[in-house]
Amino acid sequence: MRKFKEFIIERLIFACGIASIFFVILIFLFLLKEGLAVFKTIIPFNFLFGKNWYPISEPPQLGILPLILGSLLVTLGAAIISIPIGVACAIYIAEIAPLKLKEILKAGIELLAAIPSVVLGFIGMVTLLPWVKNIFNLPTGLTALSGSIMLAFMAMPTMVSIAEDALYSVPKTYKEGAFALGATHWQTIWRVLLPAASSGILAAVMLGIGRVIGETMAVMMITGNAAVIPHSILAPVRTLTATIAAEMGEAVVGSEHYFALFAIGIVLFIISFVINVTADLCLHKRQ
């Protein structure tokens, strides 16, 4: 009897063990189920590269190029700001900061990770937007640049903590060897530690950017949500994620608009899948 009970429990444990695989597949299947329907009326090429997103006009025009470019622009801006700062931050925490300061800095970054994105979006609206508006003398602060700054900030916790782990996991002997040859601490970091940790740092950067692409609320609140092809970083843009979040409430279940939003979901799912698998490969190469 006890044997039987344990058999059942172990089956249950196995079932839960593979639950993650089950859920990933389930998510993908349901996105496909609802999203592929849009391709009955529009071919994939026109969907991805169509220049007009007018989902509620008659007939609807469902080209997501402006949204893709919006996401790209905001992400690129965020990457340019966040990569140098994030990596520098990780180096300082892993190598230079005295123990007490290190605890404080890490706590600060953990605090940032804990703040909900809608709160950051709200704070961005009331502080960052007027600031951007005044500095660049714009009619509105709702721009791609504001989004980039906010997202760079939000990518930090992921980037810093993974890059820091990568730096820690470089064998101590590398560092000692460099010191023994008379290198300064900075020379050791720049010439020895960074190259040795490069694949881990690359993974950190990718996962940080993955977070940026998937971020929804803050971006929706501060980028202005204009679904047109952006011509400048100081113009309002609309990202893929914000489009789904802003429009799904009004889309009628089963309409073309509804299917198109799910198709955008498929695009996002594939992007995040590719980023995560590549980052994972980078991290495993290191070990």
Partner 1 sequence: MRNPHRTQKIAFFFLFLANLLIVVPVGLIVVIIIQKGLPAINWEFLSDIPRQGMRAGGIFPAIVGTVYLVSGAIIFALPIGLLSAIYLSEYAKDNFLTRIIKLAIVNLAGVPSVVYGLFGLALFVVFLKFGASILSGSLTLGIMILPVIITASREALESVPYSFREVSLSLGASKWQTIRYIVLSNAIPGILTGTILGLGRVAGETAPILFTVAAFYLPQLPKSIFDQAMALPYHLYVISTQVPNVDEKIRYGTALVLLTLVLFMNLVAIIIRYRFRKKKKW
Task: State yes or no: residue 180 binds partner 1 (CB under 8 A).
Answer: no
**Total binding residues for partner 1 by CB under 8 A?**
86
Question: Residue 41 Cβ, how far from partner 1 at the closest point, in Å?
Answer: 19
Retrieve residue 77's tokens.
């801006």
Question: Residue 191 Cβ, how far from partner 1 at the closest point, in Å?
Answer: 11
Give the nearer residue to partner 1 in terms of CB position, either 79 or 244. 244
Retrieve residue 116's tokens.
């909900």
Task: State yes or no: residue 187 binds partner 1 (CB under 8 A).
Answer: yes
Question: Residue 261 Cβ, how far from partner 1 at the closest point, in Å?
Answer: 7
Task: State yes or no: residue 30 binds partner 1 (CB under 8 A).
Answer: yes
Question: Any alpha helices (H) in 117-255, and if so which ranges?
Answer: 117-123, 129-135, 144-168, 172-180, 185-188, 194-196, 198-214, 217-222, 240-247
User: Which part of the chain contacts partner 1 (CB under 8 A), choosing from 14-22, 48-56, 60-68, 168-176?
Assistant: 14-22
Question: Residue 3 Cβ, how far from partner 1 at the closest point, in Å?
Answer: 8
Nearest to 242 by CA among 75, 87, 30: 75
Binders in 213-242 for partner 1, by CB under 8 A: 213-217, 221, 241
Retrieve residue 71's tokens.
């996401």
Question: Residue 242 Cβ, how far from partner 1 at the closest point, in Å?
Answer: 8
Asked if 203 and 167 touch (Cβ cutoff 8 Å), the reply is no
Nearest to 91 by CA among 36, 170, 13, 22: 170
Task: State yes or no: residue 54 binds partner 1 (CB under 8 A).
Answer: no
Question: Residue 203 Cβ, how far from partner 1 at the closest point, in Å?
Answer: 11
Asked if 71 and 53 touch (Cβ cutoff 8 Å), the reply is no
Tracing tokens 């059942």 back to the chain, one arrives at 8
Q: What character string, x for contact with partner 1 (CB under 8 A) and - otherwise, covers 146-165?
A: -------x--x---x-----
Question: Residue 234 Cβ, how far from partner 1 at the closest point, in Å?
Answer: 21
Task: State yes or no: residue 273 binds partner 1 (CB under 8 A).
Answer: yes
* CA–CA separation, 223 and 91 (whole Å): 31
What does the longest C-alpha to C-alpha distance in the chain come to? 78
| Number of other residues whose CB lies within 10 A of the CB of residue 225 | 19
Task: State yes or no: residue 280 binds partner 1 (CB under 8 A).
Answer: yes
Task: State yes or no: residue 114 binds partner 1 (CB under 8 A).
Answer: yes
Task: State yes or no: residue 12 binds partner 1 (CB under 8 A).
Answer: yes
Task: State yes or no: residue 116 binds partner 1 (CB under 8 A).
Answer: yes
* CA–CA separation, 105 and 94 (whole Å): 11
Task: State yes or no: residue 37 binds partner 1 (CB under 8 A).
Answer: no
